[in-house]
A and B are shown apart, each in its own frame.
Chain A
Amino acid sequence: MSLTPDDVKRIARLARIEIDDAQAQATQARLNSIFDLIASMQAVNTDGIAPMAHAQEVTQRLRDDAVTETDRHAAFQAVAPAVENGLYLVPKVIE
């Protein structure tokens, strides 16, 4: 299989990474060589094999329902690009 420049642009858009036509072209070639590497995996018969999502066969540990956090917004917002009145500021969201 191989990706077209349009595929590259579509996934770049999904990933919110700006990419121009020239970059899409260059990226396409690189990505296709990687997908060629990946292709060998696809021919393998995996019927009846359960997917392995985690390294250990363990189940989720649960936390008791208790409030353990305190207000640290001043420290957290000290490293934020733009804040006002305790809010993070972003370009206007249009719904």
Chain B
Amino acid sequence: MKWETVIGLEVHTQLATKSKIFSGSSTAFGAAPNTQASAVDIALPGVLPVLNKGAVECAIRFGLAIGATLNRVNVFDRKNYFYPDLPKGYQISQLAKPIVEGGALTIAVDGEEKTIHLTRAHMEEDAGKSLHEDFHGMTGIDLNRAGTPLLEIVSEPEMRSSAEAVAYARALHTLVTWIGICDGNMQEGSFRVDANVSVRPVGQAEFGTRREIKNLNSFKFLQQAIDYEVRWQIETLEDGGRIEQATVLFDPDTGETRMMRSKEDAHDYRYFPDPDLLPVKLDDAWIESVRAVLPELPAAMQAHFQRDYGVSAYDAAVLTGSRALADYFEAVAKTCGQGKLAANWVMGELAAALNKAELDIGQSPVSAARLGALIARIQDGTLSGKLARQVFEGLWEGAGEVDAIIEARGLKQMSDSGELEKIIDEVLAANQKSVEEFRSGKDKAFNALIGQVMKASRGKANPAQVNTLLKAKLQN
């Protein structure tokens, strides 16, 4: 039997606010345990929540970015359950009236575009952390993370492979970092993915029973977990078994998923509207003021790169992989006026060097202005590609401005035709055999002669100029 995979993702993004969603505690990562847990965060008797405007603004920004409906009145509910990292015994979340509903995101897999629709996105608070190192058989609880604002982004079950799920997750990751609502740091848990996975016979209309894989914190694990889960579900069904609705965890060490809890012990969360918080109202003025400062989004920027800088669709997609990269590319392209060349350098030489040094674009030792200046020197004939790579090395090492490096290292392309003619004459004199071969019709010999001229000039000769001059001399 042929099987079809159905995947929907729920992504928890930590919002990049300074303070928590309902208290004035810092959200900074990595502080000593419980030093960023205020009276509200540890749920002392009598404390009350007050909503952070910054968190709401992040949610509005997201809603605008995906073309969703922003609910002008949205409501916080309490989700009740007991867990030591949940100090109040309930999580403040949004169930019936979330802030964002609908919207869509376009992904590309193997060159094919596909639109994934979003169900909703709602604001909620993060829980603390349980530390399972042994404290005399006890677990330690750190509530620094408790109350960090989250936007939970729920997709429709529209993905049909792990590759699509990863493409969606990556596109979402790009978007939330692009619009500045999330730092995207997956190691620190800023972007956590739950995958709802089911399989069904191809052609069947109803969905199969799904299992939810919790808390995947890398794209690699997302792919591995889904692939394993899909194989397991198909094998189970083909062996005559049944899939029970369940929550599972992915173990990166074994590459397998394992059951966390079945539907039978699913919680009864007893949601109800939080009486301590009032309905959140979004007015047009606020929404429009947020829209006004929203950056150009990846899709729009891709079109703009193709149109204004003449780069290919593929290159435009790569260059908009992050806002920092896109901004960098655009600055380079503007400086040098050469879009395609700029794209080649950013995606080629620069990307390779960054990759090797394990740096991201924001940490590049070569500024966009300097890379642009370098490309401009290629364009005006000062540098050959080969020389330009040497100048780039200088820039990478921090040796100063482009022209200074060219000067100091004597990397200027030879463009004085008198000097070049002299070298050519010497080369022709020393390679009479090649000259004769050329004249008897062997084109290859011409290339050999160019090579010799370049060698004699120690690479500084302008190849185009050499070509012209050499041709002229040989035809004499």
Contact = CB atoms under 8 A, between A and B. Distances in A.
B82 interface: yes
A34 interface: no
B275 A82 contact: no
Given A73-B34, A76-B44, A59 B52 contact: no
Given A67-B26, A85-B135, A91-B139, 10 more contacts: A62-B50, A62-B52, A62-B53, A65-B18, A69-B23, A76-B34, A88-B141, A89-B141, A92-B132, A93-B84
A65 B17 contact: yes
B277 interface: yes
B459 interface: no
Interface in A1-50: 14, 16
Contacts, number: 121
B51 A63 contact: yes
B138 A89 contact: yes
Contacts of B42: 76
A90 interface: yes
Given A67-B25, A84-B140, A95 B34 contact: no
Nearest to B139: A93
A65 B25 CA distance: 10
Interface residues of A, number: 33
Interface residues of B, number: 50
Contacts of A66: 18-19, 24
Interface of B is mostly: loop
Contact of B37 (A73, A85, A92): A73
A63 B280 contact: no
B268 interface: yes
B260 interface: yes
B278 interface: yes
Contacts of B137: 91-92
A68 B143 CA distance: 17
Interface string B114-134: 000000000000000011100
Contact of B35 (A14, A61, A86): A86
B55 interface: yes
Contact of A61 (B39, B44, B50): B50
10 contacts: A59-B279, A62-B50, A62-B56, A71-B36, A72-B38, A82-B138, A88-B143, A90-B138, A91-B137, A95-B260
B365 interface: no
B381 interface: no
Given A59-B280, A87-B34, A88-B84, A69 B138 contact: no
